Amino acid sequence: MNTPYAFHSRRSPVQGQRGMVATTQPLAVAAGLEILAQGGNAADAAVAAAAALNVTEPTSTGIGGDAFALYYHAGERKVTALNASGRAPRTLTLKRLQREGMGEELPPFHPYTITVPGACSGWCDLVGRYGRLEMEAVLSPAIRLAEEGFPVAPVTAHFWERGVERQLSQALHGEELTIGGRAPRPGEIFRNPGLARTFRAVAADGKSAFYEGEIAQAVASVVQEAGGCLTQEDLAAHQATWDQPISTTYRGYRVWECPPNGQGLTALLALNLLEGFDVAALDPLSVERLHLQIEALRLAFADAGWYVSDPAFRNIPLAQLLSKTYADQRRLLIDPQRASLDQRRGTPVTSSDTVYLTVVDGDGNACSFINSNYMGFGTGIVPQGWGFTLQNRGHNFSLDPEHPNALMPGKRPYHTIIPSLLTRPSPRGEELFASFGVMGGFMQPQGHLQVASALIDDLLDPQAALDRPRFCITDGEAGGEVALEGGLPAPVLAELEEMGHPVRAVRGYGRAVFGRGQAILRDAETGVLWGGSDPRADGCAMTY
């Protein structure tokens, strides 16, 4: 069955009270709901859904990649940030790359782009700190899916085919994620016994099974066989970190992001700039509003491109970057009538391919969770017999030794994947308003701004906010081309181009550039949950 990739229908938001899960795959939603029904909470269900997504959407995510999470603890009314991104191998240096003729940029699928996979540590640490169930129970739905098989969803099948062509057909043991060398077709059953074996090991022995046991040996072996330098010692030294989240206020709401090395700072900088304009008075799809949003993001990307790096290696002036005073100064650079394609980073001074899922449980705990291989299947390299690919996050390092994000041994790269939360102040503390995110490379902070504005400025329900046509500065650069989604009025495209924005209309499978989001809102008075899931993917939001 060949279904056109077009949007003609509408969906109402899903409503419930006992708990809700929203992901890009219905089977992963079912896995999360199964865990909630067993007495698990948002942390347990988020990891169960993430593992199930590794099975059903390996084109985007997996235990061979990285993860970030924001967790809202309802009892404490507190948000915490989990950084489960990996670090560069200890023997990988700029001098080594220069000797080997790679002084300008790493090839995207080269084994040198493989950083330590951090996802497993994040799964285990999230459940260990906040969960109610054991990992054996949490991973059981994903193990069942991997062993018994599942029908591949249409959008996933499309990107699986592309991944076979780009990575799996050339990568070591990439055939483990194919059917006789080809991608599975829509509706075809795919089984992954190697991944089930991986999950069973983690369920039995926790993260040590991945970072110190047979899996670590297989990971190091295949990377070195491919010409990389990741070692078992690199894997054994890995630790996820619990960090203080960063936030800003936007029209009475507080917007939360993970701190650098993630790019959540970009969304907060842009929202600070946008707050100075009365965008609610402008038509949501008007050229006036879109121009202001694009310009705010151009300025935000100019700052983020310099300041987002590993804070263990460089001090980042976050308080100054996020101050309203700094936003006031930078906002003066926005011309309401004309695009500015040469924005430069500011200098604050003291007086800055993925799956996203979200779960809110019946107690009001929320987990905003994101997990990624990067560039689809990452490198496409598979540790033999274990059923998952290894990421290529190291491709985001700068090879300029003077850049804050320059490659260094043991360093985390600039990360595109970011989850988000919205809270509202109350006499009892911060009350959860929404757990949301939009995946997709440099689209993610842009998606956060567009969805947050729809929820706050336009009072949309989460499904309507996710359905709205989007724009994307495609390369995450201040002067980059703007992709505009089909559904935006044709005159708007022409007017944006007249204002100086380089624009491109995008339809069909090209809509992947606009990311795929999930959102769950919670009514603080009634406890009712409102869920939405992106129409650009195969998933849904569901309650029980």
Q: Which residues are catalytic?
A: 354
Closest CA to 302 of 477, 99, 488, 110: 477
- Residue 89 to residue 209: CA distance in whole angstroms: 20
- Residue 269 to residue 321: CA distance in whole angstroms: 7
Using the CB atoms, write b or e for 416-438: b if 16+ within 10 Å.
Answer: bbbbbbbbeeeeeebbbbbbbbb
Q: What is the DSSP letter of 402?
A: T
DSSP sequence for 294-332: HHHHHHHHHHHHHH-S-TTTS---HHHHT-HHHHHHHHT
Q: Residue 55: what residue type?
A: V
Residue 1, Cβ density class (10 Å: 0-12 exposed, 13-18 middle, ≥19 buried): exposed
Q: What is the radius of gyration, based on Cα positions, of the chain?
A: 22
- Residue 392 to residue 138: CA distance in whole angstroms: 27
- Residue 120 to residue 50: CA distance in whole angstroms: 10
CB 72 within 8 A of CB 421: yes
Residues 6+ apart with CB under 8 A from 100: none
Helix orientation angle between 193-205 and 42-56, rounded to the nearest 10 degrees:
150
- Residue 306 to residue 283: CA distance in whole angstroms: 33
Helix orientation angle between 42-56 and 140-148, rounded to the nearest 10 degrees:
20
DSSP sequence for 489-521: -HHHHHHHHHTT--EEEE-GGGGGGG-EEEEEE
- Residue 268 to residue 289: CA distance in whole angstroms: 18
Pairing mode, if any, of strands 529-533 and 540-543?
A: unpaired
Sign, CA torsion 316/255/360/438:
negative
Using the CB atoms, write b or e for 125-154: b if 16+ within 10 Å.
Answer: bbbeebbbbebebbbbbbbbbbbebbebbe
| DSSP E strand boundaries for 196-238 | none
- Look-up of token digits 């995110």: 437
User: Which residues, in sequence order, are bridge partners of residue 278?
Assistant: none
CA 68 and chain centroid, separation: 8
Instruction: Give the tokens for residue 404.
Output: 């804050």
